[in-house]
Amino acid sequence: MKMIKIRIPKSKRGISSQMLLAPILLLATTAVVILIPQAKQALSVSHDYPAVICPGALSGGTQVISLPTKNLQIRSVSSKSSKLYTTALTQLGSNSNPTYVSGNSGSEIVFNTISGSMSAVAVCSVGGPSDWFVGGSAGVASTGVLNVINSGLSDSSVLIYPFTSKIALAPIPIKVKANSDSKILLSSIAPGENSIALNVVTQSGRVTSFLLDHQKQGLRELGASFVNPVFTPTNRVFLGGLFNTSEKSASISHLIRFLVPGNINANTTMTIYSEDGSFTPIGFDQLSITHQKVIDVSLPTLNISSPFGIEITSDQPIFASALTRAKTHGVPDYAWASQLSPISKFTLNLVGSSASFVFMGQQVSLALSWQGVNGKTQHANLNSPDIAVWKPKGIIRGLTIAPRVKTPIYGGAVLVNPGGASLNYLPLLANQVLVGASLPSLDIRTLTHD
């Protein structure tokens, strides 16, 4: 661009140079405005679903990953390759490596068969900067494992903060290489502690964590269950659907695990919701929970025969989970239920499982559609003032859940997996949520220089 020089003659007859310069500057300014338009004050936002990570087969088991739809892009989280490929399947067998699944509006589920008919179920997760696992054991019978997965392309730094029934332990730093994972035995994190909780904090990298609680006594299996992660403490916790039965051959017990992460003890109140009505168990109307210690409290025997839900209110932010131990026909197993998040519309594939569902909230109103064993799509609406228990006949494959009210609804399921009759709890949540990102606006000023 040529530089235009403007020569201003010396003032004659008393006319100042400023008076001659003013109209010239006005014309020049107008030309600049016309030739170089200013950026519009508009913000462009793109919405997309983030990718999720599924754990690999843990504790020497075999695994099936259930996808909500076909033609999703996946890859193995392995240092050997980071290439995505498209799968036409909705059920994937996987090895010990975790699996990366591209973004979609559904929910991916992992069925991890430990031995024989015993299995554990987990919801694949995006992960977060701080994952809390309120459940599990590091005692002498524990063979459980914490799986820390780095799906990013740079090394990650992680701190593990263990909590026990006695004290909060010193943090444990670990490094996870790019596009790989680390498996850490629970017994090496808090040796000998039967009641633990873990806070996995990501300092750098794209990290997703999973905790499998697995217990054995010699060659005898005692049970296995994933402990699903929770991201923040709340003053109101929902747990559901929890298993109960009136069968004389079954032995069932329930335990509630608490953790108050703050520096003040919490006063809590519990309400149990079932088809038989709602009530507060004796001793749970004003229960004091010591802070920064893992507190286990056993529930009394419940005279209800159907799946149920629990609401816990607290004057301090808390974490809570429920452990159900069951022995049917002499075979022991257990399942952990983590606190639930409000349901949004999503789809999941239960790969032919038989399930019972419990939904809770101020007003439960849901539209359900699913595929049965014959492949035909069926529909149902649920409406209830505080709790709804849904027991569809037969097995279920694809299931879509859509709330019909704006008030929060919380849901959980009791599953009988294809591998057998083991006990499993599944939180009903959309593990992939739309994320908004700002897009740059076109501005010609970025092409000019001083």
> In this structure, are 267 and 296 located in the same domain?
yes
CA distance readout (Å), 429 to 131, 281, 443? 16, 28, 41
- Asked if residue 65 lies in contact with residue 124, where contact means CB atoms within 8 angstroms, the answer is yes
Tokens 């069951």 found at: 326
d(C-alpha 407, C-alpha 409), whole Å: 7
Examine residue 353 and state whether it is found in any structural domain, yes or no.
no
- Asked if residue 238 lies in contact with residue 145, where contact means CB atoms within 8 angstroms, the answer is no
Burial class (CB in 10 A: 0-12, 13-18, 19+), 8: exposed
Burial class (CB in 10 A: 0-12, 13-18, 19+), 38: exposed
Cα radius of gyration (the chain): 29
| CATH number of the structural domain spanning residue 248 | 2.60.290.11
How far, rounded to the nearest angstrom, does the alpha carbon of residue 437 sit from its chain's CA centroid? 21
Query: What is residue 141's predicted lDDT score, i.e. its pLDDT?
Result: 93
> In this structure, are 221 and 247 located in the same domain?
no
- Which residue ranges of the chain lie beneath pLDDT 70? 1-48, 79, 116-117, 246-250, 329, 416-421, 430-450
Residue 298: CB atoms within 10 A of its CB come to: 11
> In this structure, are 189 and 278 located in the same domain?
no
- Of all helices (H) and strands (E), which one includes residue 103? none
Query: What is residue 117's predicted lDDT score, i.e. its pLDDT?
Result: 63
> In this structure, are 132 and 224 located in the same domain?
yes
> In this structure, are 254 and 329 located in the same domain?
yes
> In this structure, are 194 and 274 located in the same domain?
no
> In this structure, are 206 and 242 located in the same domain?
no
Examine residue 156 and state whether it is found in any structural domain, yes or no.
yes
Q: Which domain holds residue 146?
A: 128-228
Spatial strand order of the sheet with 180-185 comes to: 180-185, 145-150, 207-217, 220-227
d(C-alpha 133, C-alpha 138), whole Å: 13
d(C-alpha 64, C-alpha 78), whole Å: 18
- Asked if residue 146 lies in contact with residue 209, where contact means CB atoms within 8 angstroms, the answer is yes
Examine residue 427 and state whether it is found in any structural domain, yes or no.
no
d(C-alpha 425, C-alpha 59), whole Å: 19
Query: What is residue 19's predicted lDDT score, i.e. its pLDDT?
Result: 44
Query: What is residue 203's predicted lDDT score, i.e. its pLDDT?
Result: 96
Of the candidates 286, 309, 338, which is a domain's last residue?
A: 338
Examine residue 180 and state whether it is found in any structural domain, yes or no.
yes
153 residue type, one letter: L
d(C-alpha 187, C-alpha 159), whole Å: 17
Write out pLDDT tens, residues 239-257.
988 988 766 656 889 999 9
DSSP for 419-446 reads T-S--EEEE---S---EEEEEPPP-GGG
d(C-alpha 435, C-alpha 413), whole Å: 27
Examine residue 155 and state whether it is found in any structural domain, yes or no.
yes
> In this structure, are 177 and 224 located in the same domain?
yes
Examine residue 208 and state whether it is found in any structural domain, yes or no.
yes
Residues in contact with 111: Cβ distance below 8 Å, sequence separation at least 6, in sequence order: 63, 64, 65, 66, 119, 121, 351, 417, 418, 419
Helices H / strands E in the chain, number of each = 2, 34
Examine residue 311 and state whether it is found in any structural domain, yes or no.
yes
Of the candidates 314, 338, 362, which is a domain's last residue?
A: 338
- What the block records as the tokens of 190 is 């808090």
d(C-alpha 236, C-alpha 214), whole Å: 29
- Asked if residue 360 lies in contact with residue 240, where contact means CB atoms within 8 angstroms, the answer is yes
> In this structure, are 187 and 267 located in the same domain?
no
> In this structure, are 245 and 217 located in the same domain?
no
pTM: 0.83
DSSP for 339-381 reads PP----SEEEEEEEEEEEEEEEESSEEEEEEEE-TT--EEEEE
Of the candidates 204, 228, 252, which is a domain's last residue?
A: 228
Domain count, the chain: 2
Examine residue 265 and state whether it is found in any structural domain, yes or no.
yes
> In this structure, are 140 and 202 located in the same domain?
yes
